[in-house]
Amino acid sequence: MCGIAGIVKKQNSRVEREEIRKMNDVMAHRGPDAEGIYIDGVIGLGHRRLSIVDLSDGGRQPMESFDQRFVLVFNGEIYNYIELKDALQKEGAVFYTGTDTEVIMEAYRYWGQDCTKYFNGMWSIVLYDTVQKQIFVSRDRFGVKPLYIYESEEEMIFASEIKCITIIRPEEKAADITQIARYLRGLQEDTDAHTFYKNIRNFPKSHNMIYNLHTETAEYEKYWEIDVKEFKSKWQCRNPYRKIRELLEDSIRIRLRADVEIGASLSGGLDSSTIVGISSKKFHTKMHTFSSIYNEKSCDEKEYIDCMNEYADTIPHYIYPEESEDILQDIKDLIYYHDGPCHSASPYSGYCVYRGVGKQVKVLLDGQGADELFGGYLMFYNAKLKELLRRNTFMSRIKAVKLVMMVQNEWQDKPYLLNNDLLLETLGVRGFRELQKERGRKGFRNVFATKIKYQEKFAQIDLEDNLQGNKAIVSELGKDLHLRFWYKILPRILHDVDRNSMASSLEVRLPFLDYRLVEFSYTLSDRYKINGRWTKYILRKSCKKYLPKKISRRRSKMGFPAPFDKWVGNERYKGQIKEYIDAFKERNIVDSDSLEQIYAEHINGDKNWADELFRIMSLEMWLQNEIDKPGKSWKYEAV
């Protein structure tokens, strides 16, 4: 796990070593153990190292192949590197280190671009072929590891973090209006090329690219995609429960490979607990666990965390974010590491957990991805309800009514769980009014209908179009899961995990995002995911031997909550938060009166607007720190 950077000059100009050094320095948190620089005329590569596998100097990067043909900088881990090394040795490859980095170079030598089809891991790769005079660039299937690119007529710059680019090109600190509009609406992040910086883009996940130095042109190739028909042909089995368990066990097995100690994040939920349970019970690992604890009852999961720690005989570590000396300063730091505003206060809890790890371990296992694969969010009941209504039979409507009643009875503390339109269609006008009266729900105003004038086709990703080519996904739940996995939720979560962990020089490994497990999950019918009252049904059933009943039968869900709704009114932070909100009013982005009204409603306890207010505060912090010029605040001007 590391940070990478590089510059490719066009028109035969030369790379300056000092620029690569600046890029390395600004991301030192990603790799405090070592750094390296390689310069060859028009090419400059930089690397910061976090030593995980083969801690010797043999693992330093940029790494040159034994014949000096290839030069590689690499961020991530290839978990199946031992198996790939064995296969390559049978082909005649010779290795001089114990690193996965060297395996990547030799895999590219033998398989070319197809090498990424064999990799099981997370990565951003830049490989320079000194003979062919071309650069090979690749990013992992799900975009776990970041890679940003800036390109002009004079150069192409790439890096693990945007700040590596803006440190040498400060003129590129320009806001992307489309991304700001999406952000304020609570829409997608990291789902396409857009970033919060106008001219700096995401390198696409699941893609390779060859850049030819002679022609100064790039060719992209998508090496992996979700193809349900292919997955069903590939992963046929008679016992899905056993197959899921075996795949997850093997995913954890290869992610326990390291030359340093490994721990795990533990929230007390099903996903992280399953990882801890398998690591402890199956592989007899004495795990350090790290958990975020709040005194606020609505965010307190300590009873479940304690239960799992006792069951798995772990070494527990509890982090208390509210004991921070200055939460708002922490959030400013968080925005710095994220290279942009944060979507909610939730990433702050993860940030505090990773920061609290200290020097205990260098690697953590975490449970991201399971909710989107197996139906872990309660909102997925809307898809089940929509499916029943689509069938439009007497029995399906009876089942729809029963589903509504079950959800309302089971999760009375989540009154807005089901979609209003679906409730109205299910219960009719009278039943809907009675339910709304019982819930005491207020009408919703789209406060964040911004003043920004932008092209709708760019600001709103057409998610339905992204289902084309996946026509085998026929159920409403299947479609919803796919969209949240590939576009709506998981990309944003992966963004948070990488930036939060690397801020504290930690590598986070995600067993549920083993591509084999992902492919198999797409072959499962709905009943394996949401079954009656149970979300993630197949995971609960297949892995119950690794969990105490208190966890395996837990239906409540928090994730990584943070009580920002209380912080807004906290006397210590109230004045500063209001200053940020008032400053944002002057930027001509949202209606000032509406913003003032939701702030008053929140302070008075009429309605919880915590997420919306956090987005405003976070965006204002970022604009002040990154976009405003000395003596002049940036303001949106409609074109």
Q: Please tell me the predicted confidence (pLDDT) of residue 543.
A: 97
- 157-188, pLDDT tens digit by residue? 999 999 999 999 999 999 999 899 888 887 76
Q: How far is CA 575 from the centre of its chain?
A: 32
Backbone angles phi, psi at 629, to 5 degrees: -95, 155
DSSP string of 96-140, one letter each residue: SSS-HHHHHHHHHHHHGGGGGGT--EEEEEEEEETTTTEEEEEE-
β-sheet bridge partners, residue 291:
318
Q: What is the pLDDT of residue 58?
A: 86
On the question of pLDDT at 27 being above 60, the answer is yes
Give 577-613 pLDDT, tens digit per residue.
Answer: 999 999 999 999 988 888 999 899 988 888 888 888 9
Find out whether the peptide bond into 630 is cis, omega within 30 degrees of 0: no
Has residue 451 got a pLDDT over 80? no
Cβ-proximal residues to 132 (8 Å cutoff; 6+ apart), any chain: none
- The secondary element (H helix, E strand) that includes residue 221 is strand 217-222
**With respect to CATH, is domain 2-222 assigned 3.20.20.80?**
no
Q: What's the burial of 370, exposed, middle or buried (CB within 10 Å: 0-12/13-18/19+)?
A: buried
At 307-363, the pLDDT tens digits run 999 999 999 999 887 767 788 999 999 999 999 999 888 888 888 889 989 779 999
Quick count: other Cβ atoms within 10 Å of Cβ 453? Answer: 11
Among 34-38, 248-252, 488-492, the least confident range: 488-492
Place of tokens 């000032």: 592
Catalytic residues, which ones? Answer: 2
Q: Which residue has the higher pLDDT, 57 or 87?
A: 87
Q: What is the mean pLDDT of the chain?
A: 90
Q: In which residue are the tokens 């004045």 written?
A: 575
Q: Do the Cβ atoms of 609 and 598 come closer than 8 Å?
A: yes
Indicate if the pLDDT at residue 440 is higher than 60.
no
- The answer to whether 187 and 449 have CB atoms below 8 angstroms apart is no
pLDDT above 50: residue 504: yes
Whole-angstrom distance, CA of residue 31 vs CA of residue 48: 4
Query: For the chain, which residues make up each domain, given as ranges?
Result: 2-222, 228-374+489-552, 378-477, 564-627
**Fold (CATH) for 228-374+489-552:** Rossmann fold (3.40.50)
Residue 363 contacts residue 348 (beta carbons within 8 Å): no
In the block, residue with structure tokens 């209380």: 566
> Could you give the count of Cα atoms lying within 13 Å of 465 in the half-sphere of its Cβ?
4
The answer to whether residue 107 scores a pLDDT higher than 80 is: yes
Contact between 33 and 51 under an 8 Å Cβ cutoff? The reply is yes
The dihedral of CA 178, 181, 184, 186: what is its sign? negative
Mean pLDDT of 44-52: 95
**What pLDDT is recorded for position 455?**
47
Query: Rounded to whole angstroms, what are the CA distances from 533 to 376, 409, 421, 554?
Result: 12, 11, 22, 11
**Number of residues assigned to the chain:** 639
412 vs 131, residue with greater confidence: 131
Confidence category of residue 442, pLDDT binned at 50, 70, 90: very low
For a pLDDT cut of 70, what percent of the chain falls above it? 91
